[in-house]
Amino acid sequence: TEQYAHQVENTFKKVLDHPLSTFGVDVDTASYSNMRRFLNGHRLPPAGAIRIEEMVNYFTYDYKEPKGDIPFSVNTEIATCPWNRKHRLLQVGLLGKKVSVDDMPPANLVFLLDVSGSMNSPNKLPLLKQSFKVLLKKLRPQDRVAIAVYAGSAGLALPSTPCTDDGKKKIENALFSLRAGGSTAGGAGIKLAYNVALANMSKKANNRVILATDGDFNVGVSSDSELVKLIEDRRDKGVFLTVLALGTGNVKDAKMELLADKGNGNYGYIDTLKEAKKVLGAEISGTLLTIAKDVKLQLEFNPQKVAAYRLIGYENRLMAKEDFNDDKKDSGDMGAGHTVTALYEIVPNGQSVPGGEVDELRYQKRVVSTEAAASKELVTVKLRFKKPLGKRSRKVVFPVLDKGRAFDDASENLRWAAMVAQFGQLLRNSKFKGTGSCEQVYEFAEQAKGKDLNGYRQEFLDLVEKATPLLAKR
């Protein structure tokens, strides 16, 4: 009963018709670990499970550190596109300000845990308990944890408890005493968890609900619109939401992503204890601490340099161009230390644009006449963001030049991200995959692997090898 949203892949946009590309950031990583689960089971993932931006953003990149009062750095690079050598590839990378666990504000957390009957398998509730034990070890005496559960009905398994040594023992005992059974009153559980978080809320604290589930909601408030309304209301009061999916056979991927997005949080998929140690251990500050919310990007392409462009991924993060300056429009959020990477495939002027021809306009001609258009600028990158509890956004602007760099001369950042994106295109059987192949992905990714201290990049190479025979049979 797993469910994935249908995605219409981004196509090439002619710059004269669409000079602006606008989207919200995405720091979710669920698509990558879910893809890994399928390939480790010797199956290709469904196309709807592949969100290329989440695959690219699963990895960290060697971007420059933020400076000044902007909570993230902006990094850009352009090189030859490896799957279509006539095109260029633009990388835009953000690195959020890093905050150590010791320097984080106090945490007011509510673990909202699914203990319904469907969680009664080794890769669900037992993995959930071990995963939250990883998080518990990272918490400090000034942090607080409550545990709310839901099955046939919702209940409070543990009131808000400080994470002192004695408190952690109480929290761990309550966690490991949970048993699975019953149907899934997810909506009631979310209401209870938010009420507990609000009752213990502090404006100086990181107030957050962490929902862990195999993805189903089948009793009570369960429609997307009702859940979204509930979560948006609590979000506006300062309580954010992190969503963690576990297990197989019941994942409601689209719903989990939607809830996390509307809750100013992130969405992860825990397929192994190793992944739990990544999300709830090594990257805990990014998972729990939001440093900027409603982060939007808008790129303006120079029609004298660019005939057309294609944003790779971010299909469900696209925004109208007017939304960029509208502070009422919700967008993605960044956690401490998070990296966000976006890739654009660019068709230089003079090249034919894939996707067919359009008749010339009868009533108007578009003429490029500005001084900036005659400059060497290829594109201007604009960003907007708000402080975590702010209501007004701030804008920063970065013009970008193309220095003509070849792909082989590009940084490890661009080469690695390009290969992860190319692999995603192969898994989705994208019509834009060009000359890409698993063999090319493996060769170029291995050259760009870098130090790989945690082994995540070698694991990617292993997944490419597992996918190669599966894709050959498709």
- 315: DSSP letter: G
pLDDT band at 184 (very low <50, low <70, confident <90, very high): low
Secondary structure (3-state) at 185: coil
Is the distance from CB of 105 to CB of 206 less than 8 angstroms?
yes
Q: How many CA atoms lie within 13 A of 213 on its CB side?
A: 34
AA identity, residue 81: C
Supply the pLDDT for residue 431.
95
Q: Which two tokens stand for residue 354?
A: 């894939």
Supply the pLDDT for residue 359.
84
Supply the pLDDT for residue 218.
57
Q: What value does the mean pLDDT take over residues 407-420?
A: 98
211: β partners: 112, 243
Nearest-CA neighbor of 309 among 8, 86, 11?
11
Secondary structure (3-state) at 223: coil
Supply the pLDDT for residue 276.
96
Is the distance from CB of 317 to CB of 53 less than 8 angstroms?
yes
Answer whether residue 451 shows pLDDT above 70.
yes
- 106: DSSP letter: P
AA identity, residue 364: Q
Cα gap 317→25, rounded to integer Å: 7
Nearest-CA neighbor of 110 among 173, 196, 199, 186?
196
Q: Which two tokens stand for residue 406?
A: 């070849």
Nearest-CA neighbor of 94 among 460, 419, 384, 416?
384
Supply the pLDDT for residue 219.
45
Q: What value does the mean pLDDT take over residues 84-113?
A: 96
Answer whether residue 221 shows pLDDT above 60.
no
The overall longest dimension of the chain from CA atoms, in Å, is 77
Q: Which of 73-77, 97-101, 168-172, 219-223 has the lowest mean pLDDT?
A: 219-223
Is the distance from CB of 273 to CB of 124 less than 8 angstroms?
no
Q: Which two tokens stand for residue 156?
A: 């409070």
Percent of the chain with pLDDT over 90: 79
Is the distance from CB of 248 to CB of 280 less than 8 angstroms?
no
Answer whether residue 424 shows pLDDT above 60.
yes
Query: Position of tokens 């009420």?
Result: 195
Cα gap 130→152, rounded to integer Å: 23
21 exposed, middle or buried (CB, 10 Å; 0-12, 13-18, 19+)?
A: buried
pLDDT tens figures, 361-392: 889 887 777 888 889 999 999 999 999 989 99
Is the distance from CB of 147 to CB of 156 less than 8 angstroms?
yes
Supply the pLDDT for residue 216.
66
Measured at the CA of 212, the angle between CA 209 and CA 213, to 5 degrees, comes to 135
pLDDT band at 355 (very low <50, low <70, confident <90, very high): confident
Is the distance from CB of 209 to CB of 110 less than 8 angstroms?
yes
Q: Which two tokens stand for residue 245?
A: 């999916």
Cα gap 41→62, rounded to integer Å: 32
Nearest-CA neighbor of 206 among 75, 335, 47?
335
Is the distance from CB of 314 to CB of 10 less than 8 angstroms?
yes
> What mean pLDDT value characterizes the chain?
93
Q: What value does the mean pLDDT take over residues 323-341?
A: 95
Answer whether residue 17 shows pLDDT above 70.
yes
Answer whether residue 304 shows pLDDT above 60.
yes
- 352: DSSP letter: P
Answer whether residue 222 shows pLDDT above 90.
no
Nearest-CA neighbor of 420 among 180, 2, 19, 61?
61
Supply the pLDDT for residue 310.
98
Q: Which residue has the higher pLDDT, 362 or 64?
A: 64
pLDDT tens figures, 22-52: 999 989 999 999 999 999 999 999 999 999 9
AA identity, residue 179: R
Q: Which of 42-51, 67-76, 114-123, 316-325 has the lowest mean pLDDT?
A: 114-123
Cα gap 234→222, rounded to integer Å: 17
DSSP strand E in 54-127: where? 72-80, 88-96, 107-114
Q: Which two tokens stand for residue 98?
A: 């890093």
Cα gap 21→7, rounded to integer Å: 18
Q: Which two tokens stand for residue 128?
A: 């959930």
